[in-house]
Amino acid sequence: SAAQNIPVSFENEAYIRVASSLTELKKYPDRMRAILNSHIDWSAEIVPNATLEDLDTYAIQKSRDIYKEKNKNKSFYKEIDNWSNEVFLDKLKVTINGKVTNTALILLGKSEASHLLSPKVAQITWKLDTEEKAYEHFSMPLFLAVNEVLAKIRNVNYKFFPTNQLISIEVPKYDNESILEALNNCIAHQDYSLNSRIIVTEKINKLIFENAGGFFEGNAEDYFLGEKTPKNYRNKWLVEAMVNLNMIDSMGYGIFKMLKSQKERYFPLPDYSKSKGNEVILEIYGHSIDENYSKLLIENKDGLDLTQVILLDRIQKKTPITDAAAKMLRTKGLIDGRKPNYFISAKIAELTNRKAE
């Protein structure tokens, strides 16, 4: 099991397992820091000089509205309006006995209070990297900033032309919920000890989300089928507050929801393959890579299960799959070609087209 707080040592030298080999921990300073910090929840720590005056009034009001909506069936619902800010923020789990935590500043802090977190950063940078170039920084309160970033992203409709239909199918390039899910995941899982901002890059065909710190438990693929629930979080207190604010889902369904949304819009699936040990990089496509993949999804709307779609997505991205998976896809007539150069079969699309004729 992973080392907690103390690295595994042998003859006074600390070691770490990378892939299947043991290597000296000193070669991986970021992993060393992660192990040493693994028991400290920085997000729950109280900020010595911060007061409720450092929190944004409008953000508090909006968070109250969401908290009320979320708890409308609870016995205390009618009392929420009468709670003072101190009581409400404690219930929301952003403050502790009226004292401001790092979580309270990240989510609800005034932008001019950012010095209270320094050198740590709570900031999102949006970059437009197309034929036009632009960028903008969004600072605290991040609870409000995510919607401002969302408003920046250009979301036009994308047209598919299926073989067996005369009219095109139009879908929005991006799903707003997926964008918010991705942004909120960056905030929740960021390793704030790395003093780095969250970056959202808008390309012509995809959005790229980058946050500091690797996956805290497992890797992205573990969450693809919506069957894994994380046991631990890097920022436990922050995650809990974000769940209370309906920003994220604590059950690990976020990645699964993004996956389903991409599948339902016939696009390539969310891609974490460029992530490294100390940063998570997520790409969400607003464009098709291989027309045959999109045609298969359009024409076999209910005939493909999520595992098959995940495998077909790996093939269009030229990512290796196991021999057993390739055999299963080939038996179903979904792929052609020889290992490692499989490609998605165009035959099915043609067959469907002939039926239509």
The 3-state secondary structure of the chain, one letter per residue? CCCCCCCEEECCEEEEEECCEEEEHHHCHHHHHHHHHCCCCHHHCECCCCCHHHECHHHHHHHHHHHHHHCCCCCCHHHHHHCCHHHHHHHCCCEECCEEEHHHHHHHECHHHHHHCCCCCCCEEEEEECCCEEEEEECCCHHHHHHHHHHHCCCCEEEECCCCCCCCEEEECCCHHHHHHHHHHHHHHCCHHHCCCEEEEECCCEEEEEEECCCCCCCHHHHCCCCCCCCCCCCHHHHHHHHHCCCCCCCCCHHHHHHHHHHHCCCCCCECCCCECCEEEEEEECCCCCHHHHHHHHHCCCCCCHHHHHHHHHHHCCCCCCHHHHHHHHHCCCEECCCCCCEECCHHHHHHHHHHC
pLDDT value, residue 4: 43
Distance CA 18, CA 60 (A): 44
Helices within 191-301 (DSSP H only)? 236-244, 254-264, 291-299
For 33-86, how does the pLDDT look when each residue is reduced to its tens digit (9 = 90+)? 665 555 689 999 999 999 999 999 999 999 999 999 999 999 999 999 999 999
9 forms beta bridges with 14
pLDDT value, residue 8: 58
pLDDT value, residue 303: 83
11: left (phi over 0), alpha (psi -120 to 50) or beta: left
For 302-341, how does the pLDDT look when each residue is reduced to its tens digit (9 = 90+)? 788 889 999 999 999 999 999 999 999 999 999 999 988 9
- Listed in order, the ranges of the chain carrying CATH 3.30.565.60 are 40-288
pLDDT value, residue 1: 36
Global pTM value: 0.84
pLDDT value, residue 205: 95
286 neighbors 207 (Cβ within 8 angstroms) = yes
Distance CA 150, CA 142 (A): 12
Residues of the chain short of pLDDT 50, as ranges, are: 1-6, 356
The architecture of the domain spanning 40-288 is 2-Layer Sandwich (3.30)
Distance CA 187, CA 238 (A): 9
